[in-house]
Amino acid sequence: MDALRRSEVGIIFQHSNLFPEMTAVQNLAVAGSTLTEDEIRVLLQNFDLESIADRKAKVFSGGEAQRVALCRSLAHDPSFLLADEPTAGLDSENVARVHAQLRSSASASRGVLVASHDPATESLADRVVTIEEGRIV
């Protein structure tokens, strides 16, 4: 199961779960990615993160860490993305970037499951399941 998860599932945690002593590039490299360093840098650039590529994660802002975590989830080209509050703490420009990536992933036949309280994120979904007090409503 671990091998399947590592190769087929990209996870975006609500709290980035980055390795604080590693740089953005290193955090993506350890994600099981087969990307070259140049390809990792391009992925970071797509999310306006090229300026922090060589900085340690412990100094990232919350928004930077969340975007690096999104890049990390995509680094091994998973078949399925699982995202827990992927836009929490992001400004409107970066929320739009994340939304575009989630839609692009879904359009590319990648499964996408998002847990979110954000109505704008919910509006992107093909299907919405609401859970209240532990029950599907």
CA 40 to each of CA 34, 73, 75, 125: distance values in angstroms, whole numbers, following the listed order: 9, 12, 7, 28
Domain-wise residue ranges, the chain: 2-136
Distance CA 78, CA 6 (A): 8
Contacts of 38 (CB under 8 A, 6+ apart): none
CB 98 within 8 A of CB 69: no
- This prediction has a pTM of 0.85
Paired with 136 in beta bridges are: 131
State the fold for domain 2-136.
Answer: Rossmann fold (3.40.50)
Bigger pLDDT: 22 vs 46? 22
Tens digit of pLDDT for each residue in 90-121? 888 889 988 998 888 888 888 999 998 888 88
List the structure tokens of 130: 């609401």
